[in-house]
A and B are shown apart, each in its own frame.
Chain A
Amino acid sequence: MKRAIIPLVLLAPLLAHASANVQETLLENGLKVIVKQDQRAPIVTSQVWYKVGSSYEHGGVTGVSHVLEHMMFKGTAKHDPGEFSRIIAEHGGEENAFTGRDYTAYFQTLAKDRLAISFELEADRMRNLTLPEEEFLKELEVVKEERRLRTEDDPESLTSEQFNAAAYEASPYRIPVIGWASDLEHLKAEDLREWYRKWYAPNNATLVVVGDVDAEEVFALAREHFGPLKLEDLAAPKLRAEPAQRGEKRIRVKAPAKEPYLIMGYKATALGHGAEDWEPYALEMLASVLDGGSSARFSRELVRDSRVAASADAGYSAFSRLPGMFVLDGTPAKGRSVEELEQAFRDQIEHVREEPVTADELERIRNQLIAAKVYERDSVFYQAMQIGRLETVGLGWPLVDEYVEHLSRVTPEQIQEVAQQYLTPDNLTVAVLVPQPMDGKQPRRAAAGGHARVR
């Protein structure tokens, strides 16, 4: 296959940042510690990533990873409920946590001389959470409110939740991160205890530190605080592979709303899942051809030229633990129907299956990728996020500095090939939000979900 000509020589100085300033070590109890030195500001961000999230869950306890994330702030033998946050606040820190399909992560950003505070607290709650019943019952109510806020009362989010549940049969990506309403209703503190025991252990975690710190000192500090923790016998999650889809699926979601909304998803692949590595990268590039900015095809052709869409998005991630979907979503423009938008999306997909994308489009995306790689260094938090995420889905942190090159090597022919292979009618699920009157006195009922919940 022909390779595009890439000015890699020119890129080199900008991308040279690379892994030279990243160091890692493995503690005896299995905790991986990754440190990236960034001396631009006298701060440090510290993140603990656990390999657990909604895609590890099973029916009946959906949402348990996220509820447990909330409960991680509710005390250990050594620290009372809420004390974690109070101590971090007193030291001027910013902190929070988030749960996704593939991970649960906790972070603090602090002045660089306060890293020990964060380590002491995180090490403590990695194995010593008390999970008191009374705190659990209160916090469960908070999570139910969060579900109402983010899902029940947001018709597009509700549509997205039902879309995922319809598209995936066996894959645990069908599970909403926040959990089904009924499972939350019946969740028990004992479910959390079991989940905590099973997954919260040094050998199932990655500690990522980015900031104005010395790697050897951080390793020593990590050994001091996390070193004594006991490891756990881990059972890898079962595969639960998605069976091949055998024909298009369609659902309609009726909810009080003013505007329709359309989601179309094609089952795809991910890095490390059978297919050759260039395939997920080609799908990433295809998503950028369609929706990588205001000059990409969707903005240009669907919003500005044919004016069929008020908004139109394309999304895909090569970097997930399990294969996900290549997803299109959008809202029709005024006076245009959701059927017209669907046809426009189908025409766009047909076009990329039939004709290779142009060299100019790929050149533009490469320049965006290179610039974004520079811009991301303005944030220690984001740098740590990238390391933590790639490590936690099993791809390894060195990819943080390599993926731009992988993407840059993708050719127009490869993009056409993945479009032909994955973006097929039989591989498609379509969900349409059908707006219902909003003047009814009945509160909304039902359930939905993005992929990450912030506490």
Chain B
Amino acid sequence: MFAESKPILAALCGVLALAALSSAWAGPKIETWQTSSGARVLFVAAPDLPMLDVRVVFDAGSARDGGRSGLAALTGAMLSQGAGEWDADAIAERMESVGAELGTGAQRDMAWVSLRTLTRQPALDTALETVTKVLAEPRFDQPDFERVRENTLVGLRRAEQDPGTVGKKAIYRKIFGDHPYAADPSGTQESVAALAREDLGDFHSRYYVARNAVIAMVGDLTREQAEAVAERVTAGLAAGEPPPAVPPVPELAENLLEKVQFPSSQTHVYAGQPGMRRGDPDYYSLYVGNHILGGSGLVSLLMEEVREKRGLSYSVYSYFLPMSVRGPFLMGLQTKNEQAEKAREVLMETVRRFRKDGPTDEELAAAIKNITGGFPLRIASNGKIVQYLAVIGFYGLPLDHLDTFSERVSAVTAEDIRDAFRRRVDPDRFATVIVGPVQDQVAKARAASGA
């Protein structure tokens, strides 16, 4: 039984909605509209819990840094450090005194501001009023800017202590070369040190605008209430313009190798190349294929070959990260230094064999059952649904993306996967990054093996 202080009618509606839902592969019912300022809204009513999740996303990730690496991330981090008449203390106090949670961040494509709050008053009004100012009137005060920049530099130095992070940053640089996706969103010591507060103000004015925003909302609101919330949250934003498209990602010309000297007990191996974009025509073939290859955790082919059969690594994986333009196809593992080259060979051999042979019928059937059978889990919480809404809205995916997802996954054949992998994964154009202390040995072995 639902036992909260909710009218019986609302609770019943929730039960009925879910009953209808569980009968098929349907996703949640998404409502969409535009605010008067031009922001797109995606909303799912979720009346079971007296709470609201809002995620406002902008095309304002590090792909928009324009050579000032770390700018998008620092801008995001500064939003909550002072806005309108409130300083950082006041913003924190306002949100936390009503139990609301505020988050900001930036990846390569997206920057976001997220809010989770109770829908009772005064929590809802206090939280919305605060978020509205944070979005529209960040102060970027010089002392706060300097503090956050200095702490970002400390964070960058701590990241240099971690061989996995060092390798991850290096493989993106290797795969993307001169493309804006090459740089890590957190920037570098040099680029962050060179940022000025004016850069943040300019970046905010250009990109934190209504026509560059998508508002995802899931919670205990009626459509009318949701419309009012969306209007309110975007009230302070200029209409503005969406930015031009991110440039296309060029192919790698050849195999590339970078060795990073690191005093670690393990060697981290990354290999990758440009993969696919959101809305890619090969999306489902590559997604299901990769699920079999290295995307299904403990039961993937890579896990079987590298960990289960040989005990070479604690974690090994592959994934396509679809982005505005082609994001990476990335594989990774880590192992004790002496066996790094052996593990790398197993990794590359497994992907070559999969590209050539594709999945067996049993592997494909198991993958489809896993993905479609797990569909209810993907949309089982407001927290998950709001993330899907943001992705659907940001990348302009069809509104029935979730409804048709299982059906389209089920339609993928072994031949589709073989075909897509042969066209889209090139075994002679991999970027490889090796982080660890025994680089010369590894490089020698690698040259000898002709990889």
A112 contact set on B, CB distance < 8 A:
376
Q: How far is the CB of A285 from chain B (nearest CB, A)?
A: 14
Residue interface mask A141-158, B partner, CB < 8 A = 1? 111111011001111100
> B387 to nearest A CB, angstroms?
12
- Whether A364 lies near B96 (C-beta < 8 A) is yes
Q: Which residue of B lies closest to A299 (CB)?
A: B92
Name the one of B99, B377, B437 contacting A92, with C-beta atoms under 8 angstroms.
B377
Beta-carbon nearest neighbor of B367 in chain A: A89
Residues B93 and A310 in contact, CB atoms below 8 Å apart: no
Given A85-B299, A152-B265, residue A14 in contact with residue B50 (CB < 8 A): yes
B116 to A375, Cβ gap below 8 A? yes
The answer to the question of B337 belonging to the interface, with a C-beta cut-off of 8 Å to chain A, is: yes
A190 an interface residue at 8 Å Cβ cutoff?
Answer: no
Are B93 and A295 in contact, with the CB atoms below 8 A?
Answer: yes
| Given A14-B50, A331-B158, A333-B150, CB of A438 within 8 Å of CB of B262 | yes
Contact B158 A109 (CB under 8 A): no
Do residues A42 and B22 form an inter-chain contact, with CB atoms below 8 A?
yes
List chain B residues, Cβ under 8 A from A368: 96, 99
Contacting pair A86 B299 (CB below 8 A): yes
Q: A257-B161, A331-B154, A367-B99 are in contact. Are A89 and B266 (CB under 8 A)?
A: no
Give the residue name and chain of the A residue nearest to B21 (CB). A42
Task: Provide the bound-state CA to CA distance between A162 and B372, in Å.
Answer: 45
Whether A256 touches B96, Cβ cut-off 8 Å, given contacts A139-B311, A142-B313, is no
**Does residue B18 face the partner (Cβ distance < 8 Å to A)?**
yes
* A364–B97 CB distance below 8 A: yes
Docked Cα-Cα span, A332 to B150, in Å, equals: 11
> Which residues does chain B contribute within 8 Å of A226, judged by CB atoms?
none
Q: Among residues 175 to 203 in chain B, which have CB atoms less than 8 Å away from a CB atom of chain A?
A: none
How many positions in chain B have a CB within 8 Å of any CB in the partner chain? 86
Determine if B308 is an interface residue (Cβ-Cβ < 8 Å). Answer: yes
Q: Contacts A138-B311, A142-B311, A256-B263 known; A111 to B299 CB distance under 8 Å?
A: no
Q: Write out the residue numbers on chain B whose beta carbons fall within 8 Å of the beta carbon of A311.
A: 151
| B98 located at the interface, meaning its Cβ lies under 8 Å from any Cβ of chain A in the complex | yes
- Residues of B70-110 contacting chain A, CB below 8 A: 80, 88-89, 91-93, 95-101
Give which listed residue, A42, A90, A152, A364, contacts B370 with CB less than 8 A.
A90
Contact, CB under 8 Å: B264 / A444: yes
Q: Which chain A residue lies CB-closest to B164?
A: A149
- The A109-134 residues at the B interface (CB cut-off 8 A) are 109-112, 114
Contacts of A233 in B (CB 8 A): none
B3 an interface residue at 8 Å Cβ cutoff?
A: yes
Residues of chain A within 8 A (CB-CB) of B264 are: 148, 152-153, 443-444
- Is there a chain B Cβ closer than 8 Å to A370's Cβ? yes
- Contact of A230 with B by CB under 8 A: no
* B425 within 8 A of partner (CB): no
Q: Is the CB of B21 within 8 A of A375?
A: no
CA distance A311 to B97 in the complex (A): 22
CB neighbours (8 Å) of A90 from chain B are: 366, 369-370, 373
Bound: A290/B375 CA distance, A = 41
The answer, yes or no, to whether B307 is at the interface (CB within 8 Å) is: yes
Question: Which listed residue (B5, B262, B307, B374) contacts A13, Cβ 8 A?
Answer: B5
Residues of A within 8 A of B98 (CB): 367, 371
Residue B400 CB within 8 A of the other chain: no
Kindly provide the distance from the CB of A253 to the nearest chain B CB, expressed in whole angstroms.
13
Task: Scan A39-70; emit 1 where CB is below 8 A from any B CB, else 0.
Answer: 11111000000000000000000000000000
B49 and A441 contacting across the interface, CB-CB below 8 Å:
no
Interface residues of B in 1-60 (CB under 8 A from A): 1-5, 14-15, 18, 21-22, 48-51
What is the distance, in angstroms, from B167's C-beta to the closest C-beta of chain A?
Answer: 12
Residue numbers in A under 8 Å from B315 (CB-CB): 149
Q: Counting CB contacts under 8 A, is A217 at the interface?
A: no
Report the bound CA distance from A110 to B373 in whole Å.
8
* A442-B154 CB under 8 A given contacts A90-B373, A145-B313: no
Contact partner of B366 (CB less than 8 A), chosen from A86, A111, A379, is: A86
The residues of B that contact A145 with a CB separation of less than 8 Å are: 266, 311-314, 334-336
Q: Is the CB of A295 within 8 A of B381?
A: no
Contact between B265 and A16, CB atoms less than 8 A apart = no
- In the bound complex, residues from chain A placing their C-beta under 8 Å from that of B252 are none
Within 8 A of B (CB), among A1-37: 13-14, 16-18, 20-21, 37
A324 close to B (CB within 8 Å)? no
Q: How far is the CB of B30 from chain A (nearest CB, A)?
A: 16
Among the interface residues B14, B15, B99, B150, which one has the most CB atoms of the partner chain A within 10 A?
Answer: B99
Are A149's CB and B154's CB within 8 A?
no
Q: What is the chain B residue whose CB lies nearest that of A294?
A: B92
Asked if B228 lies at the interface with its beta carbon under 8 angstroms from chain A, I say no
> 12 interchain pairs (CB within 8 A)?
A14-B50, A89-B297, A93-B377, A94-B374, A145-B314, A154-B161, A259-B158, A304-B88, A310-B151, A364-B97, A371-B101, A441-B261
On A, residues with C-beta under 8 Å from B are 13-14, 16-18, 20-21, 37, 39-43, 73, 81-82, 85-86, 89-95, 109-112, 114, 137-146, 148-149, 152-156, 256-259, 292-296, 299-300, 303-304, 307, 310-311, 331, 333-335, 363-364, 367-372, 374-375, 377-380, 438-445, 455
Q: 6 tightest CB-CB pairs across the interface, nearest first? A: A92-B373, A371-B99, A13-B5, A141-B311, A92-B374, A295-B92
